[in-house]
Structure 1
Amino acid sequence: MAQVTFKQDLVTLLGTEVKVGDQAPDFSVLSNDLNEVTLKDYKGKIKLISVVPSLDTGVCAEQTKRFNEEADQLENVQVITVSMDLPFAQKRWTTVNNIQELETLSDHRDANFGEKYGVLIKELRLLARSIFVVDSNDKVSYVEYVKEVSNHPDYDAALAAAKQAE
């Protein structure tokens, strides 16, 4: 399992670690209008999945804004941000911050995404900061479990992986 810290303290990640080459696990999360969303809803598209603990924190907000700015330059790539925030909070946050190029999805209901991708922090019931690129055939082509949850991911590497995925 990936070793991750939160404010320098080691945390326990629940679920199964996802690795490059794996078939992407299907998941069930909620859209901002409370509809169920699964991996199958993005069939045939490349997915850049940006995982954050909460949109209402500085690094998470910057991460989501950065991927929103880059999203329109990614051909056949659906950029998705997953957090434990309630769908209502995500909708408010995306409206206030003019986020229009990516989708925010909520894992608050049953932490299905968190467990299937090995990013559910047991001690906090938040998701660990991470990035997954899943190709159009649902194979994982890039993974980053950010070692310290309060740090930024490697944006350039994630964006390059999304551009190279087929």
Structure 2
Amino acid sequence: MASIKLGDNNIETSGSLPKIGDSAPDFELTAQDLTTKKLADFKGSRVVMNIFPSIDTNVCATSVRKFNEKASGLRNTKVLCISKDLPFAQKRFVDDEGLNDVTNLSDFRGNFGKNYGVEMTSGDLRGLHSRAVVVLDENGTVIHSQQVPSIGDEPDYLSALKPLL
């Protein structure tokens, strides 16, 4: 369990992120066309998982924009933006913003948050995901993992992308 901040309040998560060297847990997430995506669908590509509470908040939206910008220059890399938002809200956001280099995936009916230890179990946002980044190599092995200590802070983009450069 991780302890993070939401403003001045301490918030607990359902567990801990996978550690560097771990095999990433499988997942079932919902794509914008309502199909199910699994980790195996991205095998052979490096994967950046940008995990956050809601696309409709400023810091979360900023992280999607920044990872979209950075993704265009990364070789053999998929950027997955993962939240509990409905796929329709995620699609609206990327369409409105003209973002083409990220894949938004919804955990609205899955257990990704619990499997990756990012589901908030206390506080006003309980049930949503905390802000985190997990980076995988082509074989699904974790090569970077960051639980952002405060929901209001952006992830460390440089550290997340460094193993991919």
**TM-score scaled to structure 1, two decimals?**
0.94
Percent sequence identity over aligned pairs: 38
Runs of 4+ displaced beyond 3 Å: none
Do structure 1's residue 140 and structure 2's residue 118 form an aligned pair?
A: no
Root-mean-square deviation (CA, aligned residues, Å) is 1.1
User: Which residue of 1 is the match for residue 119 of structure 2?
Assistant: 120
Q: Distance in 2 between matches of 1:99 and 1:121?
A: 28
Q: Distance in 2 between matches of 1:8 and 1:86?
A: 28
Aligned residues: 162
Give the deviation of 1:132 after TM superposition.
0.4
Q: Distance in 2 between matches of 1:141 and 1:158?
A: 9
User: Which residue of 1 is the match for residue 89 of structure 2?
Assistant: 89
How does 1:23-42 map onto structure 2 within 5 Å? 23-42=23-42
Give the deviation of 1:24 after TM superposition.
0.5
Give 3-state SS (helix, strand or coil) of 1:141's partner.
strand
Give the deviation of 1:16 after TM superposition.
4.6
> Larger deviation: 15-24 or 74-83?
15-24
In structure 1, the gaps of 5 or more residues are none
Q: Distance in 2 between matches of 1:162 and 1:50?
A: 15
Listed one character per residue, the Cα deviations across residues 66-90 of structure 1 (whole Å, up to 9, x for unaligned) are: 0001111000011110011000110
CA contact (8 A) 1:30 1:37 kept: yes
Give 3-state SS (helix, strand or coil) of 2:78's partner.
strand
Give the deviation of 1:129 after TM superposition.
0.3
